[in-house]
Amino acid sequence: MVSLSYPRREFLQFLRHLKRPITVRRNDVYFMRCELIATPTKVIFKLPGNEVYLNIVPIGCCKTVFYFKDFYDAMRKMDVPDVSIVIDTKTIKVNAVTLTAKTDILTKKAAKEQKELPMDFLNEDMHDLFTQRTIKSKDYKLKDNSRTFSAYEVSLDVEHVYTRLKKYNIDYHLVDQFIRGNLKRV
């Protein structure tokens, strides 16, 4: 069993300022799974594309996965100044609210050895979106300018524009044709 406590107001500010990955719609971010990793020196709260480091020393070490919406709703319902989180093997208890979670209790040695914990709950395609990799090959160029873009950047921009315009019944292929129509292959 692992336990920790943190000021509620600061924790909610962290959660409100998390950036949303562009591939995730505004409503779907609440149904994403997140991780809470307690190491001997700090606590890491992870959502895809986000990491929040809490400078507190927990009692015990673990890695737990749960749904963000349940956790956020439990945090908002509380009126106490400090959030008390108790993590067990199948549950995570946020003050008086009990949520289901998948937890691996770590020994102190195992927690120290895990420098970068994989986002194993994401599928491979989504994991590629959030890894920090540099794109060296530029596949497209603006027709009237010398600026170049990779195919990866173009596809992310198409997805971003489509998510914004789909409420107006704009087709994905129409957005793709419009953006790629202003580009030429390098």
What was the pLDDT predicted at 6?
A: 80
Exposure string for 27-52, b = 16+ CB within 10 A, e = fewer? eebeebbbbbbbbeeebebbbbbbeb
Q: Quick: pLDDT tens for 156-172.
A: 888 888 888 888 888 88
Q: Quick: pLDDT tens for 8-55.
A: 888 777 777 666 554 455 566 556 778 888 888 888 888 777 777 887
Paired tokens of 5: 């406590």
Count of residues making up the chain? 186
Q: Residue 3: count other Cβ atoms within 10 Å of its Cβ.
A: 14
Pairwise CA distance, residues 112 & 173, whole Å = 48
Pairwise CA distance, residues 134 & 147, whole Å = 17
Pairwise CA distance, residues 84 & 102, whole Å = 18
Rounded to two decimals, the pTM is 0.50
2-123 carries CATH number 3.10.150.10: yes
